[in-house]
């Protein structure tokens, strides 16, 4: 066992020349299990209060003058007012803040599942309720737990991680098939065209039906229509 690898998962790693002992490893693992269990419980307790929700994801770096920020804010407002659904995000800045802002200022329910990061993420001010997470895996589990629709705006590695996680869960049947909407043809179509070429056509690592899990759109009306037609979870 390479104990130095395990040091990377500690909040307070030891010097490189001091590998962790078995007792220290056991202590770290048990602490992380307790933390993850608490995060799962808090997240589930919050989301189960709201039986109709839409998860909106995207870059944390977009500012309020960005076109996608403005679109996410408008969409959050319409989801809250026209559909009466809860808007769920990762709780941070950028697209998350925009969607939360739209719902919050319209008087809707605006939830955030925030990840604690050393530099860039604090809960935005447009949340009616939120849970802080230490671990990405428990946060993603809650984000993917119960929404009727998942909406992705352009983003970076974090957004891609969240997108391919949900695509994999649907592809493998781990969660029910629900709409996955990619907003912005200019951003998404070149990426998805490359995926089709490399994964489907050239290497046959996915099936044609897998490319129908997601839908690329440009307009709010398309998104609202998809959400309206999405199957509702059972209470």
Determine the pLDDT at residue 118: 67
Rg of the Cα atoms in the chain: 19
Q: Is the pLDDT of residue 15 over 70?
A: no
- Tens-place pLDDT, residues 28-44: 888 888 888 888 888 88
CATH number at residue 175: 3.40.50.450
Angle at which helices 157-171 and 136-143 cross, to 10°? 60
Q: Is the pLDDT of residue 7 over 50?
A: no
In the chain, pLDDT over 70 holds for what percent of residues?
A: 90
Average pLDDT over residues 133-157: 89
Residue 121: CB partners within 8 Å, gap ≥ 6?
A: 60, 90, 91, 92, 93, 114, 115
Decide: helix, strand or coil at residue 51: coil
Average pLDDT over residues 99-115: 96
Determine the pLDDT at residue 235: 53
Determine the pLDDT at residue 25: 84
In the chain, pLDDT over 90 holds for what percent of residues?
A: 64
Determine the pLDDT at residue 5: 42
Determine the pLDDT at residue 111: 96
Q: Is residue 191 part of a domain?
A: yes
Phi (first) and psi of residue 5, to 5 degrees: -65, -45
- Tens-place pLDDT, residues 156-193: 999 999 999 999 999 999 988 999 999 999 999 999 99
Q: Is residue 12 part of a domain?
A: no
Q: Is residue 6 part of a domain?
A: no
Q: Is residue 211 part of a domain?
A: yes
Q: How far apart are CA 97 and CA 162, in angstroms?
A: 17
Q: Is residue 79 part of a domain?
A: yes
Q: Is residue 29 part of a domain?
A: no
- Structure tokens belonging to residue 111: 């939830």
Q: Model-level pTM? A: 0.86
What is the pLDDT confidence band of residue 26, given thresholds at 50, 70 and 90?
Answer: confident
Q: Is residue 10 part of a domain?
A: no
> What is the tally of structural domains in the chain?
1
């Amino acid at each position: 066992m390479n104990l130095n690898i395990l040091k990377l998962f500690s909040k307070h790693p030891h010097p490189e020349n001091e590998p962790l002992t078995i007792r220290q490893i056991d202590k770290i693992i048990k602490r992380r299990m307790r933390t993850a269990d608490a995060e799962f419980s808090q997240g589930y307790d919050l989301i189960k209060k709201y039986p109709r929700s839409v998860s909106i994801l995207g870059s944390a770096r977009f500012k309020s003058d960005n076109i996608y920020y403005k679109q996410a804010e408008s969409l959050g407002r319409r989801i809250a007012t026209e559909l009466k659904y809860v808007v769920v995000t990762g709780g941070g800045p950028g697209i998350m803040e925009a969607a939360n802002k739209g719902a919050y200022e319209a008087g809707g329910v605006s939830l955030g599942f925030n990840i604690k990061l050393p530099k860039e993420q604090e809960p935005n001010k447009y949340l009616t309720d939120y849970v802080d997470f230490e671990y990405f895996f428990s946060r993603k589990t809650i984000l993917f737990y119960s929404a009727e629709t998942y909406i992705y705006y352009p983003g970076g590695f974090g957004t891609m991680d969240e997108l391919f996680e949900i695509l994999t869960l649907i592809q493998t049947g781990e969660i029910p098939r629900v709409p996955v909407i990619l907003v912005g043809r200019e951003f998404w179509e070149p990426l998805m065209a490359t995926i089709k070429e490399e994964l489907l056509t050239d290497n046959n690592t996915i099936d044609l039906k897998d490319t129908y899990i997601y839908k690329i759109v440009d307009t709010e009306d398309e998104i609202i229509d998809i959400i309206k037609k999405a199957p509702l979870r059972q209470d």
